[in-house]
Structure formats: structure tokens, C-alpha cells
Amino acid sequence: MEILIGLDVGTTGVRALAIDAASGSFVRQSVAEYDILTPKPGWTEQDPGAWGRASMRVLAEIADGIDGQVVGLGLAGQMHGSVFLDAADRPIRPALLWNDQRTGRQCEEIVDRIGAAELVRATGNPALTGFQAPKILWLRDEEPDHYAQVASVLLPKDYVRLLLTGDRATDASDASGTLLLDIARRAWSTEVLEALEIPEQWLPTVYEGPEATGVLRDDVAAELGLPAGLPVAAGGGDNAAAAFGVGVATQGQLSSSIGTSGVLFAPTDGFAPDPSGRVHAFCHALPGAFHLMAVTLSAGGSLRWWRSVCGDVSFDDLVAEAETAPPGSEGLVFLPYLTGERTPHLDARARGAFVGLTVRHDRAAMTRAVMEGVVLAMRDGLEIIRGLGVEVEQVRLVGGGARSRLWRQLQADVFGVPVHRTSADEGPAYGAALLGGVAAGVYATPAEALARVQEREDVVDPDRSAVARYEELHAIYGPLYQAMRGGMLSLADFADATADPAALRRR
């Protein structure tokens, strides 16, 4: 049996997944978690070394427990993070993550230097705090001693690639989230790099997702128990790899992912950015393909936060309680802006809130409101995608939002369309494994890899009475952000002014 492995360097942990190359069926997986650092309000960081140690551990566990020949490896990972390396390839400081919000001033500088419209034309996106380009400028401004040591800048999965293969490489889908890629050309933008005075030699070589970027180093292969010379695919940013893994490849299809963030991924027939920048226009992991992407920053992350507040209770018990509450939670709405928001508000200083809370609302209603608020926020993005002329004919679910009955029903009811699952909705690692199969020559084309993706029979149809309730609720939900924005910004300023640095370091 020929085995393909996908490795996903996620926000809360790394996952390795082994599949049977012939059938695409699941064989084995291994997961290792690591911490997120929050040294200040709005800051999120991780130790790149933790990614490397966790990746080595799960790959070794996979290699030790499978009966077959491993023939290919693909990589996926959280997007936008900035790993700053010195000339000896050592991390200079902790990596800044995708949901880090410290770079507002640098985003303003980028717009001043390049122009808002020109930036969207070239990179498909406005200057957002989570992207890599403003993080590089932040290091220049705030940590000049560290900036002086920079020899290269990598994305999270590509730092792990460096450890595995010794190659500085990335793929077009992940590079799309740096704000440094000319999306239409699928190459680094000379115009943007020169305007921001960022040396192109700091950046890795850009490949298409199914291309091999190199092979596993001999010493690493021996340590892990994997074959020497194992080809490693460029892979994809987590959402592009996940979309590939559920067969979302052509316009009219849409993948919906609820992990830490919530993502709607809509392939497009060509490069067609949103002029307002409310949704991203990125490269797909498929060669020459593009997509629009709406991002809710704190989706499953909101439910994880709520569980931590509730104390000693499992996710399963919380969600079971939420199923007993009625659609609309008796007038309780949750705004999931716990780490700011991208789509549609592009506001790093947005804040979360329960609105409509009364003495009638118990934990069940509040949990349901959290989950409903996440899907209502994702609906905002769906409406923008539709407004750009991209009609959605089929929704395929991926990740945790696919495995929960309530998440599935909420998406069907709030989006107003049936939602589908595939036989392997394991997320980015599965798509990365399929991409690894193309890189290894196991599949002659990406289409042959996509043929391994099979739909399940359990389609979830919208409940028409619930659809009507959620249409009404979404009309109420939509204006709440604007009504509360002034108060949100004042509270964010208050939090910044009163933060206790010692307490934050202990978090």
C-alpha cells in the first residue's frame, strides 16, 4: 500500500494525517498541541521551535504506526505568520501570528506609500494587521536590533519545511497572504517590495501547490523513520489545502470551515478582487486558479473562549445544551469580535459582545448565541461574495464545523442552502496529503487527486422555518457593529491604557 502524509501546522497544534494513495481513505493521524503567547492585548505569538518539535513528533508517530510505503508528503499551515530568521536560520524572536493586531500604524504607512487602490490591484487585498508585510515593518520600527539580524522571512509551514528539507520555499496560496505577492502573476511584487524597502532575497521561492519543492533531508528521514529522498509538495495555506481536500476547485462551489477562525472559500474563474477589500482575493493551491475568501477571525475560537469561561464542562455537553435552546436564542445575539474582525469590518479594534441579554437567558441560550453569532458573521462574508457575482451552488464543510450536528444545521439554516460533507473532512492535512501525491507522481494531475474526494450521503437541508427566523435575525445583527463601534474603540483604548504588563506576561 502506498501512503501519503499531510502535515498541517495549525494555530493550536500540528496534525499529521496518513492516507491510502489508491483510495484516498484515512489510515492514521497524530496530533500535538502547543501554546499561544499573548504578551500584550491584541498580540499573538508562537515559538517556531514548538512547531518544529511538534511536527517531528507527529511525523515519527505516523511513520512508526503504518503498514505501507510512504511515497509523498505535503504541507499546510496557518497563514500570514512571520518567522524572522538570522543568517544561521535561527528564529530571532517569537513568530507574529495571523490574528496579531499590533501593526495598525504600519498598515497606514503601506497605504500611504503605495495607495489603497493600487495595493488591492496588485495584491488583491488591503493592508490588514494580520498580514506579513506590516509585521516586517513593525519589526523595523519597534525592534530595530532584531530587524538588523534578519536574513529571511518565512511563513509557519515553510519554517517547518526548512527544518525538514533545508529549502526556503512556499506556495502561491500561502504567499498570497503576505501582501507582498502580485496575485495575478503569482510572483513577488517588485513594486510593493521596492515601495516598502523589503529585500526580495529575504523571501522564499514561490511554487504551485502540487509541485515538489525538495526532498526530506537524509538525517531527518533517518530520525523520523521515513524514506530518504521523500518528495515534499509545496502544499497550501490551511484554507486552500482544506478546500482542495474537500474537492472545492471550481466556481459555484464553496467550502466552509469553522476552526479557530471561520472561513468561506469560493473559487473564481479568474483573479477578481473585491475593490473594497472586505473579502480576500488569493491564489488557490491549484495551479493557475484563484479564489475569494471571507474570514471571521474568532469562530471556533469564540466557542473555545466561552467553554473556558464556563469552567469544567466539555464541548459536547455545551453544544448539547445549546441544541435545547430555540433558534435566535430568544433575542440574544453574540458579536464574535474577540480578536478584532476582518470580513466585513476590517477593524482590528472591534470587540465582542452579548446583546439582548436578559434574566431568562441561561448557559444553553448563551452557548447557542455564541454559535449563531459566528455563523451570522460568516453570512456577512457570503453576501459579499454573492454581491461580487460569484453564485454559490454547493457548500462543502470542513473541519470541526463539519463534525458537529449543530454547526452543520446552523450553517444550512443561516446560509439558506444545503450543506454537504465529504468522506474525509479532516481539514488542511488531507488536502496537503493529496497535493503530496501529485508532487510524488502518484497522481498524474491535480484532477486525478481530486477524484479521490467522495461525498457522504448525509446532506443537511435548511429548516425553512429556521431560515426565516435567521433572515430576520441577520437583519438585526448587521447594524449592531456600526451602532457599537464608538464604544468598542473607547474600551479598546481604555484596555491599552490600563493593562498590567506583569499580569499579561503570566497569561
Catalytic positions are 238
CA distance 75 to 16: 9
Amino acid at 259: G
Nearest to 366 by CA among 338, 340, 413, 331: 331
Q: Are 128 and 346 in contact (CB under 8 A)?
A: yes
Region class of 8: left (phi > 0), else alpha (psi between -120 and 50), else beta: beta
Count CA within 13 A, CB hemisphere, residue 200: 13
Q: Are 96 and 135 in contact (CB under 8 A)?
A: yes
The residue behind cell 539580524 is 149
Burial class (CB in 10 A: 0-12, 13-18, 19+), 359: exposed
Please report the DSSP string for 123-189 in residue order.
Answer: HSS---TTSHHHHHHHHHHH-HHHHTT-SEEE-HHHHHHHHHHS--EEEHHHHGGGT-EETTTTEE-
CA distance 437 to 433: 6
**Residue 195 in grid coordinates:** 515601495
Residue 440 sits at the vertex; the CA angle it makes with 438 and 443, to the nearest 5 degrees, is 40
Helix axes 405-415, 464-477, angle to 10 degrees: 70
3-state percent breakdown (helix, strand, coil) of the chain, nearest 5 = 40, 20, 35
Strands 262-268 and 253-258: antiparallel
Burial class (CB in 10 A: 0-12, 13-18, 19+), 40: middle
